[in-house]
């Protein structure tokens, strides 16, 4: 799952670059899913011939609906939102995914909540803290980090004006709401994989089917809203690199890895690594795309990352230390440890 977060950090950077260059977001999703389908279908056909089970019409319809909600709608909302925000902001709002996934899993009784135990309380408190942190990132900027603000002096005014244009308060709020909607649909996708995997255990074929359905759905959507032929042209440039990376690496490989992780550890465990993508994206954005970082968001980001840095062994070997020392200091850390301790038990 650590590898997945590095890949997702690259997705935010590459996709923001392509859309900033003028590529239509709906067309981007179509090409992304087309690349994913083209890379996955041959592998699924040859590698999972023995694991394939017959597909009933009912199961096929379920996969179609899951693809529509969790992939097609989620991706299109994400790329609409990223047009109003920065790559770092997009990565920051994904920190709502663990809390939303936990809430959905709890409602569907896939995840237990025991308020009589420390880890049960920590899950609830940590969810609130996680969402609160995203709100801080959305509305609080703080002073710029000077040692990472390495733009030339003559470019400062231009960068500042650009920042005001694409990241004004109103656009940040709009982008935040759209991004949270996309993350909610993505959380639903994570949760709904559990019953579908039980019915269709061929994970690579399942991923391929969802990519193909999503490609078809996105194509109908894109054709309806974008009928200019020039918007569909791909050249040998950053746009092609972006859709190829997002399609083959992100959609193709990481979707399969996540489905495998969901089968092994559950949807909440899979989503809890999401905060790592934030700090990776923030650092890369500062050096690659000259994005100005600020102390308000950076401190909040470091808080998120801190919560994922301790091993499961701490809970297993020394629960008393967890209860008396760590719980009062960092409820989000306890939330993540609580999720892990359920699997340890």
Cα atoms in the 13 Å half-sphere on the side-chain side of 260:
10
10 Å Cβ neighbour count for 5? Answer: 22
- The tokens of 16 are what? 């923001």
Q: Taken in order 61, 63, 64, 68, is the CA torsion positive or negative? A: positive
The answer to whether residue 338 is domain-embedded is no
Local confidence pLDDT in tens for the 345 residues of the chain: 667 777 877 887 888 888 888 899 999 999 999 999 998 888 888 877 777 778 889 999 999 999 998 889 999 998 898 888 777 777 777 777 777 887 888 788 776 666 666 666 666 666 666 666 655 655 555 555 554 554 554 444 444 444 444 456 677 778 888 988 998 998 898 888 888 888 888 888 888 899 999 999 999 999 998 888 888 988 888 889 999 998 888 877 776 777 777 777 766 566 566 666 666 666 666 666 566 555 555 555 555 554 444 433 344 444 443 333 333 333 333 333 344 344 434
- The tokens of 161 are what? 């004006």
What b/e string do you get for 290-304 counting C-beta neighbours within 10 Å, with b at 16 or more?
ebbbbeebbebbebb
The answer to whether residue 260 is domain-embedded is yes
The pLDDT value recorded for residue 298 is: 52
The pLDDT value recorded for residue 132 is: 63
For residues 72 and 52, what is the distance between their CA atoms, to the nearest angstrom? 24
Overall pTM > 0.75: no
For residues 316 and 342, what is the distance between their CA atoms, to the nearest angstrom? 11
For residues 166 and 94, what is the distance between their CA atoms, to the nearest angstrom? 19
For residues 66 and 69, what is the distance between their CA atoms, to the nearest angstrom? 5
The pLDDT value recorded for residue 154 is: 47
The answer to whether residue 123 is domain-embedded is no
The answer to whether residue 320 is domain-embedded is no
Range of the domain at 76: 2-97+147-293
The answer to whether residue 241 is domain-embedded is yes
The total number of structural domains in the chain stands at 1
The pLDDT value recorded for residue 168 is: 65
The answer to whether residue 285 is domain-embedded is yes
- The tokens of 343 are what? 């699997």
DSSP state of 116: T
The answer to whether residue 113 is domain-embedded is no
The answer to whether residue 305 is domain-embedded is no
For residues 167 and 176, what is the distance between their CA atoms, to the nearest angstrom? 11
DSSP state of 146: G
The pLDDT value recorded for residue 95 is: 72
For residues 88 and 283, what is the distance between their CA atoms, to the nearest angstrom? 9
């Amino acid at each position: 799952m650590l590898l997945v977060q590095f890949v997702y950090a690259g997705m935010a950077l590459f996709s923001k670059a392509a859309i900033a260059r003028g590529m239509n977001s709906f067309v981007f999703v179509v090409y992304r899913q087309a690349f994913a389908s083209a890379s996955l279908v041959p592998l699924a056909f040859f590698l999972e011939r023995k694991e394939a089970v017959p597909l009933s019409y009912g199961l096929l319809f379920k996969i179609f609906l899951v693809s529509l909600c969790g992939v097609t709608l989620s991706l299109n909302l994400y790329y609409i939102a990223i047009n109003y925000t920065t790559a770092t902001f997009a990565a920051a709002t994904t920190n709502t995914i663990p809390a939303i996934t936990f809430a959905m899993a709890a409602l569907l009784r896939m995840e237990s909540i025991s308020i009589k135990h420390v880890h049960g309380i920590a899950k609830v408190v940590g969810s609130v803290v996680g969402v609160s942190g995203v709100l801080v990132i959305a509305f609080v900027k703080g002073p710029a980090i000077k040692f990472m603000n390495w733009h030339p002096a003559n470019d400062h005014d231009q960068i500042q004006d650009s920042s005001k244009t694409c990241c004004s308060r109103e656009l940040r709020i709009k982008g935040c709401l759209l991004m949270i909607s996309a993350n909610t649909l993505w959380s639903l996708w994570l949760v709904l994989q559990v019953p579908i995997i039980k019915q269709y255990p061929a994970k690579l074929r399942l991923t391929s089917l969802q990519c193909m359905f999503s490609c078809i759905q996105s194509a109908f959507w894109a054709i309806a809203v974008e009928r200019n032929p020039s918007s569909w042209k791909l050249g040998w440039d950053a746009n092609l690199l972006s859709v190829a990376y997002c399609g083959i690496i992100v959609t193709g490989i990481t979707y399969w890895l996540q489905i495998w992780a969901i089968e092994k550890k559950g949807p909440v465990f899979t989503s809890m690594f999401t905060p790592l993508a934030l700090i990776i994206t923030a650092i890369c954005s500062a050096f690659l795309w000259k994005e100005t970082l600020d102390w308000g968001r950076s401190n909040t980001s470091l808080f998120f990352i801190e919560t994922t840095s301790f091993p499961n062994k701490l809970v297993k070997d020394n629960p008393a230390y967890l209860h008396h020392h760590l719980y009062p200091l960092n409820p989000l850390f306890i939330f993540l440890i609580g999720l892990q301790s359920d699997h340890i038990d």
